[in-house]
Chains A and B, each alone.
Chain A
Amino acid sequence: MTWGRSIARSLLAAAAAVPMIAGLTTATPAAAETTLRVVMHSDLKIVDPIWTTAYITRNHGYMIYDTLFAMDEKLNVTPQMVDTWKVSDDKLTYTFTLRDGLKWHDGQPVTAEDCIASIKRWGAKDSMGQKLLSFVADMKATDANTFTMQLKEAYGLVLLSLAKPSSNVPFMMPKRVAETPPGDQISDYIGSGPFKFEKDQWKPGDKTVYTKFADYKPRSEPGSWAAGGKVAKVDRVEWISMPDHQTAVNALVAGEIDVLEAPPHDLLPILEGSSDVALLNTNPLGNQYMFRMNWLHPPFDNQKVRQAAIAALAQEPFLQAVIGNPKYYKVCPAMFVCDTPFAFTEGGDAMVKSDFDKSKALLKEAGYDGTPVVLMHSTDLAVLTNLAPVAADLLRKGGFTVDMQSMDWQTLVSRRSKKEKPAEGGWNAFLTSWVAADILNPISAAGYNTGCDKGWFGWPCDEEMEKLRNSFSTETDEAKQKDLAKQIQIRAMTIGTHAHAGQWYQPTAIRSDRVDGMLNGPAPFFWNISKKGG
């Protein structure tokens, strides 16, 4: 039966290859095929990178889709699919021209119409995209390769939005796919990226297979983050799902896999002890922990109490408890991530040290009556498990009563969307982690949205903050933008939207004896990687 099926599959493959063979002289010999075996941080479940913000789906998007613009290592926006672009003097009209010879995986050329449809679908879903589209009056294709974007008023973040490096990334899809209603999942997985998604070989919970897209035209510049040339140097990439970290680490040491995206920090000593394994810090900006408070219910409906919590918390205990090795963490007062354009100390330095006396004083002032803080504790993700116990400990020392409730991460995710009172299935606080690339500015970082019901879980409400964010997004002058970002940070700490609980780095482990060329980036990229042997 398997035999019969494989015959059927090769027949299908042959049929699909016919149009390509017409343009090609020889096929590459099958013997030299290289396969990169990778264990990612989780299993690929959803294959629509616009439908979900899950990081694994974003990573899948980077495999098979391409973007108009991309951010390079120095956080500069550079063109990727776009060849040239123009901004009119009044800053209201953007004109984009695509590179020549871009093709979809089915061999059709990439057109301006495709891009417009893709921007629209992304803009319907993504928060930064929604903001962008609210400024856009019209998008029109002027020829097959060129389109214009007409703005209602000047907007400072057009290119930054199109180069958004993390969820949801504005990936380009063929028009027919992009016209899927944003609420429905796409069911056609044709992209124009350096790898093709092999849907027939996809076994959810087991493995996901990508093969090199032979017709991909990489840029000539060297690769840097998602910018520059995306040259696929292996024929096949397999994402193998392995729910058990210990097993994955052993599989890497035994050479059964080539790359392990996110080994837990406590297991790093095993990998460091293996001479064939190297640890790369491919995401130098790292990640940031967040302590999020719910504004709807006591005690965190009171600004003074929120400030008391911020006073009691400090970054180092969290980082020590989860990451352990100082090589992989950093105490960082900047809410928009250290070593980035919007990194400031002001206000954010409250998270450097705990001040329990201040916390107790604030609680007294607020008339805190000992209402327990219902703190949700997720127990099944290594990088989150130890956070809540530390928070509970610090809050108790700062005079709070804490009711820590343990649950699996998925339950936590469901429960945090509940607005009910904590006793009726709601919550007061939880901790999570953000990829730095998601929170580099107050528009893309969901935590600063203080639009009440429209905000992220916790639903903070603050008009002044919203004004600041609006000015930030329309400001085109860099210096003024920086100043606004600083004011936003101070405001966030004053009103207590959340606390930034420390910056940490996730090394990726590779077999250094056979894998070479892994690029840095906010997501793991698999182009530019070469492999020795099968």
Chain B
Amino acid sequence: MTAPDLVDSAAQAAASAQRPSLFRQMLRNHSVTFGTVVLLAMVILGLVAPYLGTIDPASIDPVWRNKVPGTERTITLPSGEDVAFIHRMGTDSLGRDLYSRVIYGARISLIVGLFVALISVAIGLTIGLVSGYIRWLDGIVMRVMDGLMAIPNILLAIGLVSLWGAGVVTVIIAIAVPEIPRVVRLVRSIVLSIREEPYVEAAISVGTPLIPILYRHVLPNTVAPLLVQGTYVCASAILVEAILSFLGVGIPPETPTWGNIMAEGRVLFQVFPHNIMFPGVFLALTILAVNLLGDGLRDTLDPRMAKRF
């Protein structure tokens, strides 16, 4: 059997073996189910936040600051009506309702995580594939990446924040850019390995053009590690957002995110732990879901997955 035949038949075998049952296989995977359910729940939570008994998460009231969870009070609605209200999760140091902040915070935290992961993986994958494959380009691209990697993300964030003002877009870009070279390096290391595989060498030797080789042979091999890396990027983006807030250059506190709620509440950690505890639980659950989803997808997508050990 000649090499190209081998490659093609292997690819066909893999495709026919998994395609029909892929969706069902995913459903059968508990990690995927759990991750999807939790993530969906968080997304829905963020979407319907106004209808979950929340009040304006930015509305401050210094008299009611630092109240413990369960504190009851009367509030005046914008319509002028007085109603009884319970601070289910207490209030923060400006008297804002923590429950409302955590629920609304789901919106921004998820957006930050998702967009950072998408942007950095998409750009990183493109650059990594091309540079791993085209030798003369590799040196230049990798040196540029080295240079980019060398600039601490905090500096980049402060620079961008002072240029455009603190905001969600600024923070997303500031977190995503330093992630790109890391994705590039990972993709490239895989490409370097794959390029030496006999079936790829064979495909090259019979004159298969670059794009099909990348698409058919190299790309599928990057999916699994990138999913793992992508979930890591997504999870870490939510955390880095918190660290930027910790350093005072994150998303402004009027827009609640789990990260900035925790960063703001850290000063009160020993006195009023609820400020960190509640957003922390939501953050941990979300990251758990993202990771399980990533792993689950990886297990079902990888054609060579074997569970014989």
Contacts and interface: CB of A to CB of B under 8 A. Distances in A.
Contact of A246 (B58, B62, B270): B270
A393 B162 contact: no
Contacts of A405: 165-166, 252
Given A246-B266, A246-B267, A320-B62, A379 B248 contact: yes
Interface in A383-408: 386, 389-390, 393, 404-408
A379 B252 contact: yes
A380 interface: yes
Contacts of A264: 267
Given A246-B269, A382-B267, A389 B66 contact: no
B211 interface: no
B247 interface: yes
A333 B105 CA distance: 39
B100 interface: no
B95 A406 contact: no
7 contacts: A246-B269, A320-B63, A321-B95, A379-B249, A389-B60, A389-B253, A389-B254
Given A321-B95, A324-B66, A389-B60, A266 B162 contact: no
Contacts of A416: none
Contacts of A386: 62, 93-94
Interface in B204-252: 245, 247-249, 252
B271 A269 contact: yes
B65 interface: yes
Contact of B252 (A266, A269, A390, A404): A404
B93 A266 contact: yes
Contacts of A270: 270-271
Contact of B93 (A321, A377, A404, A411): A321
A267 interface: yes
A245 B66 CA distance: 18
A191 interface: no
A317 interface: yes
Interface in B15-49: none
A389 B253 CA distance: 9
A266 B270 CA distance: 10
B268 interface: yes
B161 interface: yes
A390 B60 contact: yes
Chain A interface mostly helix, strand, loop or mixed? helix
Contacts of A266: 66, 93, 267-268, 271
Interface string A312-330: 0000111011001000000
A411 B162 contact: yes
B98 interface: no
B158 interface: yes
Interface residues of A, number: 29
Nearest to B249: A408
B267 A267 contact: yes
Chain B interface mostly helix, strand, loop or mixed? loop
Given A264-B267, A267-B267, A380-B248, A404 B254 contact: yes
A-B pairs with lowest CB-CB distance, top 8 = A380-B248, A406-B252, A320-B62, A321-B62, A408-B248, A379-B248, A406-B166, A317-B62
Contacts of B254: 389, 404, 406
A266 to B, nearest CB: 5
Contact of B94 (A382, A389, A409): A389
Nearest to A377: B252
B166 to A, nearest CB: 5
Contacts of A404: 252, 254
Given A246-B267, A390-B62, 14 more contacts: A267-B267, A320-B62, A321-B62, A321-B95, A379-B249, A379-B252, A389-B254, A393-B59, A404-B252, A406-B252, A407-B249, A408-B247, A408-B249, A409-B248
Contact of B253 (A267, A269, A406, A409): A406
Contacts of B59: 393
A324 B65 contact: yes
Contacts of A377: 252
A379 B248 CA distance: 5
B267 A245 contact: yes
Interface string B47-64: 000000000001110110
Nearest to B161: A407
Contacts of B62: 316-318, 320-321, 386, 390
Contacts of B253: 379, 389, 406
Interface in A275-322: 316-318, 320-321
A399 to B, nearest CB: 16
Nearest to B263: A379
A321 B94 contact: yes
B63 A393 contact: no
Contact of B65 (A320, A379, A380, A409): A320
B247 to A, nearest CB: 7
Interface in A104-140: none
Nearest to B166: A406
Among B162, B245, B247, B267: residue with most chain A CB under 10 A? B267
Among A269, A389, A404: residue with most chain B CB under 10 A? A389
A317 B60 CA distance: 10
Contacts of B165: 405, 407
A351 to B, nearest CB: 16
A407 B166 contact: yes
A339 to B, nearest CB: 25
Contacts of B65: 320-321, 324
Contacts of B58: 389
A316 B62 CA distance: 9
A472 to B, nearest CB: 36
A411 B164 CA distance: 13
A267 B93 CA distance: 12
A405 B170 CA distance: 13
